[in-house]
Amino acid sequence: MTITKRELPKVTKTIKSRHHGKDVLCARWGWWGTPVLLFPTAGGDAEEMERFKMMVVLRPLIEAGRVKVYSCDNVAGQTLTQRERTPAEFAREQDRFDRFLTTELVPWIREDCESPDIGVITAGASIGAFEAVAAVCRHPEIFTKAICMSGTYDLTKWLDGPMGLDFYYSSPMHFLPTLPEQSAQLQQLRQRFVLICHGLGRAEEPSQSWRLARILGARGVPNRVDEYGADMHHDWISWRVWLPKYLADLA
């Protein structure tokens, strides 16, 4: 008799986003557990994680009921793949994406988890790491922890043109230093945690991690930087090692 391993339960949902004015594909893997929102890389879609075998390495945590994994099209990140991109265009799309997350995607996650106020862990690599920390910093009342792998956190390196206020408020690197000391946002953010990791291999940029950590630390936001060796590159091979390890610790 041949015994086949059961497939992970997967649900896809197309949200007709009123903020983006188009359909946004979302996906979920798992039965129960802490909800984890995985952001794709720049230009990635909701099923990118599955194609790059992330669900294979997360399977033990999913089957144990530790995590329930969600993802969605990285609509804001797709702006960075355009040939000509300005800070204003990115900030406009990032703000729409932020409103999509908080008013359209998170309500679905909480309904799916049968918990109206459950906290959500964020995670991502490359531009997905930017989205993960941006979600926690902008909405610490919703998102509880961020796992940021091989991230680029200062996007001005990829954008041409003047940086306006809209861009400023979309970028944690820029708005965190001036958040009012007594603001509810900062006080709640100080109860959250940001895990930042990178390798020293090909296409990695450790200075981005350390700069983000300094900004978070200066505002009293708990964070940690883990640095890996020259054999860990800006690649899915590294991210498939790191994410299960950190979710096992944090979820």
Indicate the residue type of 118.
I
Cα-Cα end-to-end distance for the chain: 37
Q: Give the domain CATH number at 132.
A: 3.40.50.1820
Full residue range of the structural domain in which residue 191 is found: 10-250
φ, ψ of residue 246 to 5 degrees: the values are -75, -35
Residue 181 confidence (pLDDT) = 95
Distances (CA, A) of 15 to 27, 73, 131: 10, 10, 19
Rounded mean pLDDT, 182-209: 97
Task: Give the predicted TM-score (pTM) of the model.
Answer: 0.94
What span, in angstroms and rounded, lies between the C-alpha atoms of 209 and 218? 14
Q: Is residue 1's pLDDT more than 80?
A: no
Q: Is residue 62 a part of any domain in this protein? A: yes
> In which band, very low, low, confident or very high, does the pLDDT at 5 lie, cut at 50, 70 and 90?
low
Tens of pLDDT, residue by residue over 59-103, are 999 999 999 999 999 888 777 776 667 888 888 889 999 999 999
The number of domains in the chain is 1
Compute the 3-state secondary structure of the chain and give helix, strand, coil in percent, each to the nearest 5.
45, 20, 35
Tens of pLDDT, residue by residue over 26-39, are 999 999 999 999 99
Distances (CA, A) of 133 to 4, 127, 160, 163: 39, 10, 23, 20
List the beta strands (DSSP E) in 73-166. Answer: 120-125, 143-149
Q: Is residue 24 a part of any domain in this protein? A: yes
